[in-house]
Structure 1
């Protein structure tokens, strides 16, 4: 049986509890990553193939074991081209350079501004060059999320069509070509799902946050790890969304959406998609917050806020409006009149076949033939047998027993986290103390050497003085 190692924080076949996900950060800081993994696992789960998650472990020392255990290594990478991910990208480069098995990058993208200058020199350009070069030594071509990323790699010296190709977001191919968006009949009783990004423009946040005043059947689906912790335990753990003041963003238990129990944080991609089948409309600034409803056939509209979202929205032809097209007091109906909610269906067949072409170029078998016939795959059968965890709702909505359990779990996680931080700090301080001791030792040696040298020089000078004055003494006598 072939074994494929897949970069993922958890397998779609794993049913982790919320506290376990938090403890391991199994979502890689954003639950949208579960959509990536779900698609890759489902598309590559053919007969005679076993897919194994690496649980985000990346260690160049594992190269020999990986070479001996697996037939290939698949790396679904989202916005990997960003300053914060570069240290990890360097580790992957070191690892890949030691691998002899095929390494396939699926869906790599960048985190650039909405209107980026791709030909602008960046501090991490050489790191990206080294990574891409290492991958190309082990595969035929890289799959990129969008045209902006493609233009950037071309600027770095790689050729589009030979070294890299645009395939979009793998999550959009979870069910192959099977995307059929339902018609929308919007009214005040419609079930609306919203998603937001903390760094989104205030114009978009104010619009989205204000929808709850008109649509009472509304829910908010956060995605970041710190928001998951807030929902689960109410604790203000470190994170971009929680430990900052953001107008028009629900980032505390005092926010109306949390107070009214209108928040859901999903623990798996299948349960997320299943839930979205009951929603009438999804709208927001999150990519996978709108991919989930699209896969469920639910009308969706995205507000791209950066180059990462823009290139994907354009490639997949998402129903979309830019922040510049919005204005104060705008109604949801007005935005919907600006888009075609079925537009995403138009490019799906071509995009999916392009994705399969990419997999074929890298000699990866897929379930393409099964999806063409609309048949249930073996992977689908396995998913149906799993007891998927329901989404978590705010801790303030729980009964006393569950609340007590969540708080205790969070306390245990924080104790271990602080112990880990303390141990790491102790190691750092020990390294510094050892370095200081070594420097002191070297300094003492140098000081002793200087003393000996000074004594020797003094002796030599005295000896020289003796030799110079000896003739004078002899003349006197």
Structure 2
């Protein structure tokens, strides 16, 4: 039996209209953007449907029933964290992999920390998980060089940097050409005839509140939709609560009333329960920008010029490994609201050739990785 260890759903939530905010966050692993790299495996693993999808709890039950696994396919996330919660979760994962003892093919293992200090070391359970994956793999796909360095420090030498699988969702031969054409076309439109998709702010940076404040200000003066992925705004979005979450109240732009803020959030916030619908909506937009890698990756794969506001080790690492178009957080904050689109188009077009070169390289890396792991 070949097993795919993951969430209960790969890239969509069945009957999502009946699900609560809590249900949606549970099913998606507390972030709807998690569906992006899982969806990408449909394009990378041609026989994905031949794998039995099981969550980690059910995998433990299979072990207790002495079910033998022929191969374990794992789409990873930013599991290599440094919190007590990460240590608890990674002990469970490590034991499952060890007890199955089957060959492992892992995609996109990533580390996440508030800094990229050279002094960082993986916790004991997290290091155990990394070694369990490594010991049962020909190679290990990791998202960035920060993750690679941490694994090498832990004695793991068979990791390779692949970026995120979601980078390869769009398989069109004209993908880059169409992105360039779209960026130039949209750039010529007046602001009133442009439609923007803005990624949800991400906490954890000392300037996160300032980014949110500026994003809300941009929403107030443009045709924008704000795409949410995390639990913060979901209850308000689904009308389970009329209370505007604290980060949004605290970062309300000057000159915008509480009522106006509530109206912006009611009218311009969107959330998606499937990657197909997210991609389909995104293609109607002219430009995407924001702090979240998948919040920008999905529009990019739909053919929309997209720019990341890089702000932490994970987004910096991922944007480096894939050459994803980006601007520094400091530049975003000091640019006037109505000058932001021109800045984004300029940076996107300047960085697009490097992104194309890197993407072609990563395609070859993934091809070799799949062959090395007999996929």
TM-score (normalizing by structure 1):
0.67
Q: How does 1:232-381 map to 2 (within 5 A)?
A: 232-235=238-241, 242=245, 244=247, 246-248=250-252, 254-259=261-266, 261-330=267-336, 331-332=339-340, 333-340=342-349, 342-343=352-353, 344-364=355-375
1:42-92 CA distances to partner (integer Å, 9 max, x unpaired)?
321339x52333245366443255843x43222211111111322111101
What SS does the corresponding residue of 1:108 show, helix, strand or coil?
A: coil
CA contact (8 A) 2:283 2:302 kept: yes
CA contact (8 A) 1:92 1:131 kept: yes
1:283 and 1:300 in contact (8 A); partners too:
yes
Structure 1 runs not aligned, ≥5 long? 365-477
Q: Is the 8 A contact 1:198 1:246 kept in 2?
A: no
1:110 match: secondary structure: coil
* 1:170-185 mapped onto 2 (5 Å cutoff): 170-176=165-171, 178=173, 179-180=175-176, 181=179, 182-184=182-184, 185=186
1:154 and 2:157 matched? no
Q: CA RMSD in A?
A: 2.8
- C-alpha distance in 2 between matches for 1:175 and 1:289: 15
| Residues 316-363 of structure 1 deviation map (CA, whole Å, 9 limit, x = unaligned) | 111110113334352212343344263433321211111121121111
Q: Report the CA distance shift for 1:64/1:356 in structure 2 as closer, same or farther (over 3 A).
A: farther
Q: Deviations over 1:251-273 (max 9, x none)?
A: x99534224x1111001011101
Shift of 1:223: 0.5
1:190 CA displacement: 0.0
The offset of 1:303, in angstroms, is 0.3
Are 2:226 and 1:220 aligned? yes
1:229 equivalent to 2:235? Answer: yes
On the 8 A contact 2:88/2:125 being kept in 1, the answer is: no
CA contact under 8 A between 2:198 and 2:227: conserved in structure 1? yes
Matches of 1:207 and 1:345 in 2, distance apart? 30
State how far apart, in whole Å, the 2-side matches of 1:275 and 1:56 are: 32
The question of whether the paired residues in 2 share the 8 Å contact of 1:192 and 1:282 is answered with yes
**Paired residue total:** 349
SS at match of 1:175: coil
Deviation of the 1:295 alpha carbon = 0.7
Which consecutive residues of structure 2, in runs of 5 or more, have no partner in the other structure?
A: none
Corresponding residue for residue 196 of structure 2:
192
TM-score by length of 2: 0.83
Matched with 1:11 is 10
* Alignment CA distance shift 1:243-1:105 (3 Å): farther
Cα separation, partners in 2 of 1:276 and 1:65, compared to 1, 3 Å: farther
Distance 1:350 1:66 in 2: 41
The C-alpha deviation readout for 1:371-402, integer Å capped at 9, x for no partner, is xxxxxxxxxxxxxxxxxxxxxxxxxxxxxxxx
